[in-house]
Structure 1
Amino acid sequence: MPDALPELVITGPTLADFEDARARVSEAIAVTPMESSRFLAEVLGSPVYLKCENLQRTGSYKIRGAYNRMSLLSEEEKTRGVVAASAGNHAQGVALAARQLGISATIFMPVGVALPKLQATRDYGAEVVLRGHNVDESLRAAAEFAASTGAVFIPPFDHPDVVAGQGTLGLEMLDQVPDLQTVIVPIGGGGLISGVASALKQKFAAEGRTVRIIGVQASNAAAYVTSLRNGAATEIPIAFTIADGIAVRKPGALNFEIIRESVDEIVTVTDDDIARAMLVLLERAKLVVEPAGAVSVAAILTGQVKDSGTTVAILSGGNLDPMIMERVISRGLAASDRYLKLRVMLPDRPGQLARVAELISEANANVIEVLHTRHGRNALISQVELELSIETRGPEHVQRVLTHLIEAGYEPRIDI
């Protein structure tokens, strides 16, 4: 006889709540594609599918929770309008949901918000107020607006109706991959993973099966790692991360309890890991994914997910500022050893620049940028400093370039 399944503790929405939410949000969302990935399957050793919420309306899963919450407002509440605060995806989700439901929406966004996200939120019909220099300051302004006007505040993650809406993604994935065994989910405040984990755990328990849920956070913004270790939702300082969409200081109270009960493991990835994952998705899957949405793939590429069986990695969003995209691609190339910056000290005499270029050519690398200066900080009066940006083809090729220069008598230094 097989061992009995552990009793499932249910906090927050029930399976019936998730199914009811699915019927509601179907009015507003797209059923996003589920793409298989041969490349990631080779890395993991198991079938891997990509759930493309980057192709969802508004460019992320956020429309699910926002629409479900707002569709449950009373008629009196709808007449008061809604208010939210966000630097991007939640703003767009609330704005579109409000337009679909005929509700006026005011969105507070930080002063430095990316122009594409600002314009998209306005295009969906919301009134945008730029207030504060970060999301925390925008949230305070939104709370003050709600208190003074009576507008209903729509939280980004810490509400059962929002969790139920996000959990509809789990039920949708199960329709597309009935034999899924592991789901990898990005974590910020916890709305998405608490919904997906709870919906799937309840569904699988009802069928006598189990499913493994793995959450992924940016290493510079891992509030859940700290909170689970402390046994309580804990606020942490946030260092810079390119995955700003999941850079949340403190878990939601409801989300934390659901995650503590339903999520099997949480791992972290660095910015370099994320940039490399974005590059892989762009090249191999032809998908544009924002940093926060790519952390699930980064966890696979870094070997932090193993022995997982049929696996679904959620790509939670695709709202990527083109200006950031250029920088992230460069970082991803560097992290993959396909873009190399070198500094080389040369004797200040004719022919040295040409000689270095010749050596790099002999190593089958391509120079794309050169800075030649007598004002390098470490240069002697008889030297010049050469800074080179070079296209390479991976770690072995990088080593070949370096070795070729060293054997010719130069001392190249990699510029981080």
Structure 2
Amino acid sequence: MTGCGVPVRGGPHRVLRTDVRAARRRLVNRVRKTPVFHTTVDGPEGPVPVSLKLEFLQHGGTFKVRGAFNALLTAGDDVDHVVVASAGNAGIAVALAAAELGKACTVVVPESAPHTKVAAMWTHGAEVLWYGTTYVEAQRRAVSLAVEREAHHLPAYDLPAVVAGAGVIGLELEEQVRGRPPVLAAVGGGGLIAGLGAALGRRREIIGVESEHVPALTTALAADPTAEHRSENAATGIGEIALEIARRHRMPVRTVADDAIAAAREYLWREFRVVVELEGAAALAAVQSGVYRPDPGVRPIVVLCGANTELPVV
């Protein structure tokens, strides 16, 4: 398998801007260059200028398609069956990429996986297996299943090729937005912010946004960074690659209330007729709630990262 990233002794691979550039070359004609919409949104003290990166318009309705394609393309032609654990978007992304590349795909999902996302996996021809009640349990089963079937196991977000693929968004933003405004993006498992960090480094400030009830990156950054505590950090749900990039670039993280995220999601529908999932609205929620306040004259970039939702916005 052809990899990417630079091995770091005693730690995760370090994903560099050169890896992101290589990913962009691989992804030509595979993914969409999603548009940027310059507008204003309601903030706590009046209108706030923002640039919305409409990544929910990506194939499969998720930025994760970029990483899925890059990972499968770097895996090589010898891989004909891929197994991934996912509660939703990663499974959709890998299923879509695998179908496009003529590979079989099995997605192991926890029992809590949303039906709409499972249906999307089926639409792209994936075999879907339910296992366990949590993502961690599904992930363990995916690893063992890949061994049993002599298939290729693909981590959902903590893989250099996946991170580099997501980082292509950062290269697009350099072309689409003048200056060096900060970029706000949802944290999730960390693949998106890690990719943006790898692509942009210190050229632009990357701000991670996560829900107050699942402050995964905030918790991991506060934990002991030594190797003996790495398993404890992994339990937070943040990938080691993302954690390394966040620490290296001293990435700020903002936490927002669930109600604020839901309100931002409803606002997008009401004002722009845009439907995104809750995580897709997290970055906007930071601006609208005042958790993040841009400096005067600064128009931040807000990444709307996914649109796979089964809940109507009313």
Structure-2-length-normalised TM-score = 0.88
Q: Is 1:17 equivalent to 2:16 in the alignment? A: no
- Say if 1:45 and 1:112 are closer, same or farther in 2 by CA, change over 3 A: closer
**Distance in 2, Cα, partners of 1:65 & 1:287:** 24
Q: Is the 8 A contact 1:190 1:255 kept in 2?
A: yes
1:228 to 208, 221, 224: 221
Q: 3-state DSSP class of the match of 1:138?
A: helix
1:298 aligned residue: 285
- Say if 1:280 and 1:43 are closer, same or farther in 2 by CA, change over 3 A: farther
Q: Is the 8 A contact 2:183 2:300 kept in 1?
A: yes
**Distance in 1, Cα, partners of 2:90 & 2:46:** 32
1:212 aligned residue: 205
**Distance in 2, Cα, partners of 1:225 & 1:44:** 29
Alignment of 1:339-350 (within 5 A): none
Q: Is 1:151 equivalent to 2:151 in the alignment? A: yes
Q: CA deviation at 1:42?
A: 9.0
Q: Is 1:173 equivalent to 2:166 in the alignment? A: no
Amino acid at match of 2:148: S
- Say if 1:111 and 1:264 are closer, same or farther in 2 by CA, change over 3 A: closer
**Distance in 2, Cα, partners of 1:290 & 1:197:** 23
Q: CA deviation at 1:44?
A: 7.5
Q: 3-state DSSP class of the match of 1:107?
A: strand
Q: Deviations over 1:297-334 (max 9, x none)?
A: 11001112223412100111011113xx36xx5xxxxx
**Distance in 1, Cα, partners of 2:207 & 2:90:** 23
Q: 3-state DSSP class of the match of 1:39?
A: strand
Amino acid at match of 1:175: E
2:9 aligned residue: none
Q: Is the 8 A contact 2:15 2:160 kept in 1?
A: yes
Q: CA deviation at 1:231?
A: 3.5
Bigger shift: residues 33-42 or 251-260: 33-42
**Distance in 2, Cα, partners of 1:229 & 1:112:** 29
Q: CA deviation at 1:133?
A: 2.0
Q: Is the 8 A contact 1:36 1:50 kept in 2?
A: yes
Amino acid at match of 2:153: F
1:311 aligned residue: 300
2:270 aligned residue: 283
- Say if 1:180 and 1:130 are closer, same or farther in 2 by CA, change over 3 A: same
Amino acid at match of 1:170: G
Q: CA deviation at 1:46?
A: 5.6
Q: Is the 8 A contact 1:185 1:296 kept in 2?
A: yes
1:138 aligned residue: 138
Q: Is the 8 A contact 1:179 1:310 kept in 2?
A: no
Amino acid at match of 1:54: F
- Say if 1:43 and 1:68 are closer, same or farther in 2 by CA, change over 3 A: farther
1:61 aligned residue: 63
Alignment of 1:170-209 (within 5 A): 170-201=170-201, 204=203
1:366 aligned residue: none
Q: Is the 8 A contact 1:40 1:48 kept in 2?
A: no
Amino acid at match of 1:311: P
Q: How many residues end up aligned between the 2 structures?
A: 297
Structure-1-length-normalised TM-score = 0.67
Alignment of 1:357-396 (within 5 A): none
**Distance in 2, Cα, partners of 1:265 & 1:44:** 24
Q: 3-state DSSP class of the match of 2:37?
A: strand
**Distance in 2, Cα, partners of 1:138 & 1:60:** 21
Please list every run of 5 or more consecutive structure 1 residues that lacks an aligned counterpart in the other structure. 1-10, 205-210, 238-247, 330-416
Bigger shift: residues 193-202 or 57-66: 193-202
Amino acid at match of 1:139: Q
Q: 3-state DSSP class of the match of 2:273?
A: coil
Q: CA deviation at 1:158?
A: 0.8
Bigger shift: residues 11-20 or 288-297: 11-20
- Say if 1:112 and 1:214 are closer, same or farther in 2 by CA, change over 3 A: closer
- Say if 1:236 and 1:14 are closer, same or farther in 2 by CA, change over 3 A: closer
Alignment of 1:38-53 (within 5 A): 38-40=40-42, 47-53=49-55
2:254 aligned residue: 267
- Say if 1:44 and 1:228 are closer, same or farther in 2 by CA, change over 3 A: farther
Q: Is the 8 A contact 1:95 1:126 kept in 2?
A: yes
Note the aligned Cα RMSD (angstroms). Answer: 2.2
**Distance in 1, Cα, partners of 2:130 & 2:188:** 22
**Distance in 2, Cα, partners of 1:200 & 1:45:** 28
Q: CA deviation at 1:122?
A: 0.8
Q: Is the 8 A contact 2:220 2:236 kept in 1?
A: no
Q: CA deviation at 1:257?
A: 0.5
Q: Which structure has the greater CA radius of gyration?
A: 1
Amino acid at match of 1:52: L
Q: Is the 8 A contact 1:227 1:234 kept in 2?
A: no
2:95 aligned residue: 95
Amino acid at match of 1:254: I
Higher RCO structure (Cα 8 Å, ≥6 apart): 2
Q: CA deviation at 1:53?
A: 1.3
Q: CA deviation at 1:285?
A: 2.2
Q: CA deviation at 1:43?
A: 5.4
Please list every run of 5 or more consecutive structure 2 residues that lacks an aligned counterpart in the other structure. 1-12
1:249 aligned residue: 236
Amino acid at match of 2:205: R
2:10 aligned residue: none
2:7 aligned residue: none
Q: 3-state DSSP class of the match of 2:309?
A: coil
Q: Is the 8 A contact 1:41 1:47 kept in 2?
A: no
Amino acid at match of 1:223: A
Q: 3-state DSSP class of the match of 1:30?
A: coil
Alignment of 1:327-342 (within 5 A): 329=314
Q: 3-state DSSP class of the match of 2:255?
A: strand
- Say if 1:24 and 1:48 are closer, same or farther in 2 by CA, change over 3 A: same
Q: Deviations over 1:97-144 (max 9, x none)?
A: 101111111111123422221111011111111222222221111111
**Distance in 1, Cα, partners of 2:52 & 2:103:** 34
Q: Is the 8 A contact 1:70 1:98 kept in 2?
A: yes
